[in-house]
Structure 1
């Protein structure tokens, strides 16, 4: 019992004293969001875990690799790639396949808990506001399509496990405006992900290893 208490104390101590030097100008952020979920239209499988705002229902799974560069200690800009797949039953009990893609610019602004008067209550993480915009498409096999301008925005939280790795959760509104059979698609996405933070020297060393 004493060993368990000691281990727990060391874990808490280690977490509360994690350095947040990874959030520095000149550093890189690499990672991905991944998830599955429900959307209320078979063409609405935007990205991550989605609760669609259109009619009908569907299920989707997607992954969104992302990369960014810290232009300041709190602002990251980069790019995100969206890849998704939805399989659901159509009106005649036939399988309906939906494919999602996208390439978009990414922006993220970090806010430390102390900056919003939470003190040290959440010492191991940072809140952030993320937004993205670019091209994307939701294409249903032998069905309606929407291809055009995609955008999204919403808050999230990064829980740092150590100096380099953070687990993340975010809630984002996603919209897609374009041509095709359907002019507008939108959803509310719950995204889970992991990010790795590296300095320029660490990123270069990692690249050389590959």
Structure 2
């Protein structure tokens, strides 16, 4: 019963935070992007699906560091299946309202820049081609906060793999949509201490 009450208190506290509180020092960001999903309907049509879960901790106001995983599958009937993976560290910087002439869109969102570096690769089932190596990327994004703790995001990012193997260096520009949940750790700790 105590845990149920604590969960309810945390939920109410999370919903009552201010619009800037979610990107303050000590908070967590958890979520991900759905980079691309399509399923071919024509004869020989295939599928293409990629997800990017990520999590980060705000080491300072507007600055978060954490990790990411990027998994993707692409294929079609009687064709090669491609599996891609990337895993590593990421960093984000959220631009403050009015900073460098960039204003908040409707006062409910923030522009940000995200960069990442890690390991990754691509494996194609037919033909045996593969590439494994350094994965890195950088790009701007925008997070629109539909509630004080949930942001819908768009991210335009240059993504590259400096690989070893049959493929070598690959790069692309990708646009992804997703969401993040911002967890105010400082308020949660305070509520937990008050319940004890």
TM range (shorter): 0.7 to 0.9
Moved more, 58-67 or 27-36: 58-67
State whether structure 2 residue 126 is matched by structure 1 residue 142.
yes
The separation in 2 between residues aligned to 1:167 and 1:83, in whole angstroms, is 20
Task: Extract unaligned runs of 5+ from structure 2.
Answer: 1-17, 39-45, 192-196
1:75 alignment partner, one of 56, 63, 76:
63
CA RMSD of aligned residues (A): 2.4
Residue aligning to 1:104: 88
Residue aligning to 1:166: 151
The separation in 1 between residues aligned to 2:139 and 2:169, in whole angstroms, is 19
Residue aligning to 1:27: 27
The separation in 1 between residues aligned to 2:105 and 2:164, in whole angstroms, is 47
SS in 2 for 1:22: helix
Task: Extract unaligned runs of 5+ from structure 1.
Answer: 1-17, 39-57, 206-210
The separation in 2 between residues aligned to 1:28 and 1:81, in whole angstroms, is 17
Aligned positions of 1:1-210 closer than 5 A: 19-36=19-36, 60-88=48-76, 94-119=78-103, 122-143=106-127, 144-201=129-186
The separation in 2 between residues aligned to 1:33 and 1:121, in whole angstroms, is 21
